[in-house]
Structure 1
């Protein structure tokens, strides 16, 4: 089954003093383009998180965000008492005022507070990893659901191309007769006596150049192969892109050989459907 590269996953967990929110978003990209934002206190664990993301998502432009909201009394920011006392002492020499007013001024000055580095609680980080896994499960489900929508769209358009190909086969005999008639009329306009046998030989040679039997067979094979690819166990957008290139090559060759207005119209319709497939295939994992 195919998967889209577009997806979104979110998980929220409540710890004793923190609320942890994990968000993962992805868009289409030729390769894995991974951007992670984690609080500095978890920076040493970032590589582990990136490895999880790369293993699960494989490809796409991925944005990962880890948000931490303090919900308890615990805090890593402490009052720098020594510095504040020094500020108050210095301020008291400059301005008159009670200690409360001096304190208000002192805490606004640089280095009045200090942030202590918090050691990572392994039990806490284990819970965070569970949240990451939950978000990855959600985004992969999103990708699969989007992939199913893409699959149905692909099948409809491939069926349309196949329908146009059947119409090409229907009018192919008419096309050949039309080419034959035009050639004969062109010769008759010359008002020259010709050798019928030689004319037929030249006509056969000329018509062989316009024969599209091989192109019709190859195009049908490519359409069948495209269906097999989107129904396979793995999701391979690069393979689908390659097959669409082969489909386009055969359609273009049919168009260049058609030399018949009705067939050229069908070729244009096939090209239109193929372009829509190509556009959507860029979003397949």
Structure 2
């Protein structure tokens, strides 16, 4: 199934202890890049989350937003520096005695000193939370994939429409191309007759026409262009990421089209070349969004 690189997926799950909500958003990117915004206590899950996502996304930039609510995520402990506290109290009393100060130091003042009292947080290992997070990520990634496939189907429909129009132009050029040499010979004879009448060297004309025919021969380019179109259609049938390969094929099609335009030296062919280049530009824009 052809997939676009743009999409969105969302999933959530609530248990007795947790509420987990995940959102995945993907956009175009040359490779597969996954950026995850996790609560600090869940950073250990980053690699596992990426592993789940890459099962559904092979190319594109994916932004992952994860929200978790509930207790039991961390354990908190209080740490007191008793030696520092003893020193502070003793020093305070000495200062009061020496300077005859009557104000009293309070417990709150002592505990507000961050050098004396600190609260330490430690991530708690919670297998239920881990399995819940990965389950929600899996659901969101699946929804993202489904949306990308729907978009991919629309892209291919548009691309095949443009590709069919290119094939029509190639067929017209292929049918018309042999006439280009004939038209050239007629123009040469007409000009020569205008200058010298009916007395002219026929061999000289044949030589000029032969040189022109060789220079303006676009049969190879047309054959390669048809081959690229066929290769494009076959590539779409493969069950793997094809965006970069299709982009390369379009570049080759554009190269052959440009060569046809420069070699043919004919206004009718030039008109069809311009139309094909316009269609190829549209295909290129669509292909750059394919996984």
Give the structure-1-normalised TM-score. Answer: 0.83
Q: Deviations over 1:187-219 (max 9, x none)?
A: 334428432134224312322221222222221
Match of 1:8 in 2: 8
Tell me, in whole angstroms, the C-alpha distance in 2 between the residues paired with 1:59 and 1:73: 36
Tell whether 2:64 aligns with 1:58: no
5+ residue gaps in structure 1?
A: none
1:129 matched to 2:152? The reply is: no
Aligned to 2:19: 19
Structure 2 contact 74–122 (Cα < 8 Å) conserved: no
SS state at 2:122 partner: coil
Verify the 8 A CA contact 2:74 2:123 in the aligned structure 1. Answer: no
Match in the other structure for 2:158: 153
**Pick aligned residue for 1:263 from 269, 274, 287:** 269
Q: Does the 8 Å CA contact 1:8/1:26 hold for their aligned counterparts?
A: yes
Could you tell me how far 1:139 is from its partner in structure 2? 1.1
Per the alignment, in what secondary structure is the counterpart of residue 217 of structure 2? coil
The count of corresponding residues between Structure 1 and Structure 2 is: 279
**Alpha-carbon separation, structure 2, partners of 1:256 and 1:111:** 82
Deviations 1:18-62 (A, max 9, x none): 211112211111112221111111112222222333343222111
Give the equivalent residue in structure 2 for 1:169: 174
Q: Which moved more, 1:22-31 or 1:192-201?
A: 192-201
Shift of 1:174: 4.1
Farther off after superposition, 267-276 or 27-36: 27-36
Whole-angstrom distance in 1 between the partners of 2:230 and 2:132: 47
RMSD of aligned Cα (Å): 3.2
Aligned-partner SS, 1:16: coil
Distance change >3 Å, CA 73–CA 44, structure 1 → 2: closer
- Normalized against structure 2, the TM-score is what? 0.81
